[in-house]
């Protein structure tokens, strides 16, 4: 019994703090990832703080009414290239690191439905390659305008929704998918097929694909050519 206890305690992972001599480049990469991780609570905190200031109340009411009737998430969002090309996304990509590997040319006169796997905990790879220009997607696949799709509920979160759309994200609803694909040549979508269900299977060394009841993206591709 004592031997088993000793074995189990020796296998328990230990928390290790970063040493003081970590290079500045690595600290910069870590900071970029940390800022991304707190983007949701930060935007919510800022929104609720402004709600406590009487001067901003008329603006907040106008903004919430705008959010209520805004159809941008269903029409490809409002992407801003300066947000996608921000320098810190490169640092963010280098932290892991994450790469974009091209295996075939894509005809820019056509539209594409891309499937991304695995979901992971928060789809870091999909965000890096398709919601930013950290790995130069637009240069690797010229003429392809790709939008990373996420849950419609994310676009009900004040300010955070605008941050997502600035990065080129849009709703994953069927209507949204069809609206984007009908925008013209090159307009494409990327769907994290496994969704939240697959994220629950995210463990080191395990790549389980949740697909059996998620074949709607195939029907969508067929309907839209």
pLDDT value for 199: 82
Q: Are 177 and 220 in contact (CB under 8 A)?
A: yes
pLDDT value for 211: 84
Does the pLDDT value for residue 8 go beyond 60?
no
33 alpha-carbon distance from chain centroid: 13
Who has greater pLDDT, 11 or 109? 109
Does the pLDDT value for residue 16 go beyond 50?
yes
Report, as an integer, the average pLDDT of 111-115.
95
In 3-state terms, what secondary structure has residue 188?
Answer: strand
Please report, rounded to a whole number, the percentage of residues in the chain having pLDDT higher than 70. Answer: 94
Distance separating alpha carbons of residues 97 and 101, to the nearest angstrom:
13
Contacts of 98 (CB under 8 A, 6+ apart): 124, 125, 128, 129, 134, 135
Does the pLDDT value for residue 120 go beyond 80?
yes
The region of weakest confidence among 39-43, 54-58, 150-154, 207-211 is: 207-211
User: What does the pLDDT look like over 64-89, one tens digit per residue?
Assistant: 999 999 999 999 999 999 999 999 99
Q: Are 176 and 75 in contact (CB under 8 A)?
A: yes
Instruction: Identify each DSSP E strand in 136-201 by its residue range.
Output: 145-150, 169-171, 187-192
pLDDT value for 93: 97
Q: Are 113 and 222 in contact (CB under 8 A)?
A: no
pLDDT value for 127: 96
Report, as an integer, the average pLDDT of 22-31.
94
Phi first, then psi: give them for residue 24, nearest 5 degrees: -60, -40
Distance separating alpha carbons of residues 189 and 211, to the nearest angstrom:
18
Instruction: Identify each DSSP E strand in the chain by its residue range.
Output: 113-116, 145-150, 169-171, 187-192
In 3-state terms, what secondary structure has residue 203?
Answer: strand
Model confidence band, residue 1 (pLDDT cutoffs 50, 70, 90)? very low
Model confidence band, residue 13 (pLDDT cutoffs 50, 70, 90)? low
pLDDT value for 164: 97
pLDDT value for 15: 79
Closest to 175 in 3D by CA, of 132, 107, 223, 129 = 223
Does the pLDDT value for residue 119 go beyond 80?
yes
Model confidence band, residue 12 (pLDDT cutoffs 50, 70, 90)? low
User: What does the pLDDT look like over 155-202, one tens digit per residue?
Assistant: 999 999 999 999 999 999 999 999 999 999 999 999 999 887 788 888
Report, as an integer, the average pLDDT of 134-147.
96
Q: Average pLDDT of the chain?
A: 91
Residue written as token pair 């930013």: 132
Phi first, then psi: give them for residue 65, nearest 5 degrees: -65, -40
């Amino acid at each position: 019994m004592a031997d088993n206890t000793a074995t189990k305690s020796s296998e328990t992972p230990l928390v290790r703090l970063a040493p003081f001599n970590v290079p500045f480049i690595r600290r910069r990469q870590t900071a970029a990832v940390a800022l991304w991780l707190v983007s949701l609570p930060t935007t919510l905190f800022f929104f609720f703080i402004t709600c406590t200031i009487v001067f901003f109340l008329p603006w907040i009411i106008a903004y919430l009414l705008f959010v209520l009737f805004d159809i941008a998430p269903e029409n490809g969002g409002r992407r801003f290239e300066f947000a996608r090309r921000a320098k810190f996304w490169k640092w963010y990509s280098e932290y892991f690191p994450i790469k974009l590997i091209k295996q075939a040319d894509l005809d820019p006169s056509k539209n594409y439905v891309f499937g991304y796997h695995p979901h992971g905990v928060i789809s870091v790879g999909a965000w890096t390659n398709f919601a930013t220009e950290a790995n130069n997607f637009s240069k690797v696949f010229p003429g392809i305008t790709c939008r990373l799709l996420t849950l419609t509920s994310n676009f009900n979160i004040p300010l955070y929704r605008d941050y997502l759309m600035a990065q080129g994200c849009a709703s994953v609803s069927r209507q949204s998918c069809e609206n984007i694909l009908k925008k013209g040549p090159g307009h494409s979508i990327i769907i994290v097929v496994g969704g939240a269900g697959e994220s629950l299977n995210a463990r080191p060394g395990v790549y389980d694909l949740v697909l059996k009841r998620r074949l709607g993206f195939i029907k969508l591709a067929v309907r839209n050519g």
